Amino acid sequence: MVLSFKSWFANEGGKHFILWLGANAWLFLRTFLTYSTGQQYYYLYKMLGLGLCISRASASVLNLNCSLVLLPMCRSLLTCLRGTHTLSSRGTRRLLDKSKTFHVACGIAICIFSVVHVSAHLVNVVNFSAFYSEDLPALNLARYLGEVIPGITGVLLVVILFLMFTASSYCIRLSNYEIFWYTHNLFIVFYIILMVHMVGGALKYQTNVDTHPPGCLRPNQSSPELQGEELEPGNEERRCKEEARFHPHYPQTWMWVSGPLCLYCAERFYRYIRSSDPVTIVTVIRHPSEVIEVRMLKRDFKAHPGQVVTVRCPTEEKETFGVHMRVVGDWTERFTELLLPKTGVELEILPMVQQRRYPNDGWKQFRLRRLYFVWVCRELQSFYWFSELLCALHHKLWQENRPDYLNLKLFVSQTEDLQSMSEEKYRPLSSRLSIGRPRWKLLFDEISNANRQKHVGVFCCGPKGISRTLHKLCNSGRYTGVTFEFNKESFS
Amino acid sequence: MGKIEWAMWANEQALAAGLILLTGGIVGVGGMFRGWEFAAYSIAAGVFVCLLEYPRGKKNKGTSVERTGQYCFTVCVKAFGPLTRNYYVRAFIHAAIAVPAGFMLATVLGCVCLGIASLIYLGAAISGEKWEPILPRTETRKAVGESIKQPPQNPPPRPPAEMRRKRAEDLEGAAYDNPIKVSTNDE
């Protein structure tokens, strides 16, 4: 498929990966060159060679990524930023929506560079002993402090990273989320150990480069190329004025990591405080296909797009927010049992009041001109989850003389056992229902023909197959004049 | 907390540990460190562990997600029967494989990680979990097209004989005009 540069740039080029990759590459190269060409590391480099440069360069990249990895997880802060007017450009909002992807990218970088770092240090340990320096005894690896503390903390760090990484695969998150959650919370132990990792001063730099230029001749040494000849006056400068002195590096990781760590701890504390406020359940509705809708009320809370709600289970005219949840695992089953006890049990069920509020005339303030809502379900019953909302919206828009604002397209993918939505009140839905999977190319053709020279935002929430197809279509060059911006959401 | 399937996590850990053993072994052999024989052993051990752990087992509840191209590995691992099905055996095998790797600095990390995986497998075994292979479902199609292939054996049913018989008492009503003129062969 031919790529359109304009579409590709809108979808991929704006990604922060390029900036992040550039920052990592620059940091790696800069540190590498500092250690390979820096005067203060001359003797150390002679002893350890490439292993020194690679281990230090990967360490600085690790510092950067360990500090960046926490920032996308400050969800309350990101929600706040997303809503402010200063950062209300679409590009920035899309960037903030990709925070989870960025977190994963930093995590993978941490794992890769840990492998590089450990391998390089293994080579360093061998070289420290193989090239033990009699001339510069201060440079050698101090037996206790320099070897044991970084060694043991390093092993512990890798073990924690191993536990976190193996529990974060898609399969584990899908089936046993608790393993992922509890191992990931070991991050605090990881960061504490990381900050003491460099204590011990294994790596030293030379402090007196001006008085002892690296490579200078010692008083009892003679220059190899002037053997047997008298030293000329000019060569006096090549004599060392004093012995080389070395000083261990101070641990620097705390400078990188403490800011984001404090920010994230504040975020967790804020979430904990907010979660202590009780939530009132206003309505519970049981929909077909094992779905329940729960509408809730919380003090000082208004639902905004892009927010993440963590639900933990124990009228007046207020705005409720709600979640639809599919009852699949043990948590959702227990939650349903608590809210909707099975019939036959003698319990008093209090009457619940249903309240629905939609924006009354607030369409004009949004830049959205038209909405195509494409919904693909396996069974017909699933459409009942949001049937009331969709029909109400449809009627409201017809009455406001904006029939083209909302274009509904419903698809039932399972073609056996045909049924129809026979209720008269769901007529707008049943007349827009098609059997079989949607043909995305035709849909995109239709949308691009009807919306020339416009920006079309595509929001996909669904399985990877559909997401990939849509992403490719958005990037293809078929639609001249129309830019399709691809966005996706995943909840695992 | 509901019923957690520990074996799935142990499988991820063992696969990662196999890769760590492999990497540590390559570094140890490549740098010709002291004790490089242990590094060579851990390369072989890493490859073995990766091959054993690559095929994911079937989940008790819900859909199982296969790893790419794992079918041939599933068949090989399944062939060993109870040796690979039982997680006690796997825990013991991993613990035994991990021990020699602990004698060299380059591979000690692989040893520790495989040891942790072995412990989690032991926990899974105590919980009563077993390794079940993910095999492709044999699609049982409904035999819809079968009846179309065979032509009908019998002619369609005819109305009863009295309706078919020409009504002799009503010759006028039974008569009809031939649309084509009827002529004999002489003409």
Query: What confidence tier does A228 reach under pLDDT thresholds 50, 70, 90?
Result: very low
Task: Note whether A155 contacts B112, CB cutoff 8 Å.
Answer: yes
Q: What pLDDT, on the 0 to 100 scale, is given for residue A306? A: 62
CA distance A220 to A172: 66
Task: Note whether B105 contacts A163, CB cutoff 8 Å.
Answer: no
Asked if this assembly's ipTM is beyond 0.85, the reply is: no
Alpha-carbon distances, residue A372 vs A153, A408, A429, B25, B57 (angstroms): 55, 6, 14, 56, 41
CA distance A342 to B185: 89
Task: Assess contact for B49 and B21: CB atoms under 8 A.
Answer: yes
For the whole model, what pTM was predicted? 0.74
Domain boundaries, chain B: 12-32+39-62+83-133
Query: What confidence tier does A354 reach under pLDDT thresholds 50, 70, 90?
Result: very low
| Minimum distance, in Å, between the CA of residue A159 and any CA atom of chain B | 7
Provide residues of A within 8 Å CB-CB of chain B.
115, 118-119, 122-123, 125-126, 155, 158-159, 162-163, 165-167, 169-172, 174-176, 178-179, 328-331
Within 8 A of B112 by CB-CB distance, chain A residues are 155, 159
Interface test with B, best of A108, A112, A113, A119 (most B CBs within 10 A): A119
Residues 120-179 of B with CB under 8 A from A: none
* Rounded average pLDDT over A223-240: 55
Within 8 A of B108 by CB-CB distance, chain A residues are 155
Token pair listed for A209: 């480069």
Looking at per-residue confidence, does B129 or A62 come out higher?
A: A62
Element (H, E) at A192: helix A187-195
Tens of pLDDT along A30-88? 999 998 888 888 878 887 888 889 999 999 999 999 999 999 898 888 888 777 666 56
- Flag whether pLDDT at A370 surpasses 50: yes
Tens of pLDDT along B68-98? 888 888 888 888 888 888 999 999 999 999 9
The answer to whether B105 faces chain A, any CB pair under 8 Å, is: yes
- Flag whether pLDDT at A491 surpasses 90: no
Looking at per-residue confidence, does A76 or A8 come out higher?
A: A76
| Minimum distance, in Å, between the CA of residue B127 and any CA atom of chain A | 15
Alpha-carbon distances, residue B143 vs A43, B43, B147, B150 (angstroms): 81, 52, 8, 13
Which range, A170-179, A302-311, B61-70, B123-132, is most confident?
B123-132
Query: What confidence tier does B65 reach under pLDDT thresholds 50, 70, 90?
Result: confident
- Flag whether pLDDT at A350 surpasses 60: no
- Flag whether pLDDT at B119 surpasses 90: yes
* Rounded average pLDDT over A182-210: 84
Tens of pLDDT along B133-180? 888 776 655 555 555 666 777 777 777 776 666 656 666 666 666 666
Q: Is B51 exposed, middle or buried (0-12, 13-18, 19+ CB in 10 A)?
A: middle
For chain A, the residue count is 492
